[in-house]
Every structure is written in C-alpha cells, then in structure tokens.
Amino acid sequence: MKTVWRLTLAMIIALALTACQTTPEAAPEPAPEPEPAPVVETAPAADPHDFTDSRNFDNPESLLSKRVIYFDFDKSTVRPEFRAIVSAHAAYAAAHSSARVTLEGHADERGTREYTLGLGERRGNAVMGLMSAQGARGSQLVVVSYGEERPTCRVSDEDCWSQNRRVEIVYTAR
C-alpha cells in the first residue's frame, strides 16, 4: 500500500515539474514549438552486429535470430552462406559461459533411418566444430541427431528435402 502511495506521489510531482517547465516556454506566442522530448526513456536499440547481446535473439536484423543451418544432400559441410550465422552463435556462446546449446542434426527421408541418424550427427558435429574453433567451449555444446524422424515438411521433392536437411541451434540456457 505504502509503495503505491509513494509512486502516485512521485508521479504527481513529476507531472507538476513538467507543467512548471512548459509554462514559461508557452508564453512567447510566435516562437516555434520545440520537438517534445519523449516522455518514456528507452534503452538504446541493440546493435544487430553485437552477437553478445541476448536481445538480438529476437531481432530479425541480427544473425543471432537465425538458428537453422541447411545442408546439401548426403553432405555435412557448412555452406559459406551459413558460416556467418554459426560465427554469431559461437561469439555469443564464447561471451556467455552459462549458455548451453543443443545442435539438433536432421536429414531428409532418403536413405535408411539409422544411416540418416549418422548423417544428422555428422552435420551437428560440423557446426559444433566451427563453433568450438571460434571460442565456444566443448562443455557448452551437445549434438543430438534425429536423423529423418523429425521432418519440418513431408513432401517427397527437393524443395521439401532441402528444408529437412538441417541443424537447428537450440539454446537450452542463454
């Protein structure tokens, strides 16, 4: 109860102060009105290139918001266009020792289930290797392969297959 009263009091005082400030400025009639300063102060926007800033996980302009790496058929090489994403997450993990990441490896439906389990792991390991080389600690990273058991798409064509051949970077702790 007391805190509520105090807050209300503080607000009334603040309003009164702003009223006092604006009153003398309104007096000279012809003068152009200055831009009103924002009433609510916000923190500066996250720099999308600061990969140590956890706000960038939800910032579509930052590579940290991208957490799926796609692969070629029967391959586990991280393609050049995805290396920057992996580097961003490696930078985050390196800066936050409490961060824990599961690299979920997946494959498309072609090939036998147990073999694709191996393939998914190989992809997970490829991403783990890159992240480790860029400062992420081994204790922060775990690879789990689901093979072809968890497709995001169930059509038998290349478009769908290419979406299923992936590693998902899943943070279990940030």
Binding site for other proteins (CB under 8 A): 74, 109-115, 117-119, 121-122, 125, 142-146, 149-150, 154-156
Shortest Å distance, C-beta 167 to other proteins: 15
Shortest Å distance, C-beta 134 to other proteins: 19
DSSP state of 42: -
Q: Packing angle between helix 80-95 and helix 113-133, nearest 10 degrees?
A: 60
CB nearer to other proteins: pick between 84 and 144: 144
CB nearer to other proteins: pick between 49 and 113: 113
CA distances from 88 to 71, 85, 150, 174 (A): 18, 5, 26, 14
CB nearer to other proteins: pick between 85 and 148: 148
Shortest Å distance, C-beta 58 to other proteins: 22
CA distance 17 to 27: 17
Shortest Å distance, C-beta 107 to other proteins: 11
CA distance 96 to 172: 13
Shortest Å distance, C-beta 96 to other proteins: 19
Q: DSSP letter string over 110-165?
A: SS-HHHHHHHHHHHHHHHHHHHHHTT--GGGEEEEEEETSS-S---SSHHHHHHHS
CB nearer to other proteins: pick between 83 and 150: 150
CB nearer to other proteins: pick between 43 and 173: 173
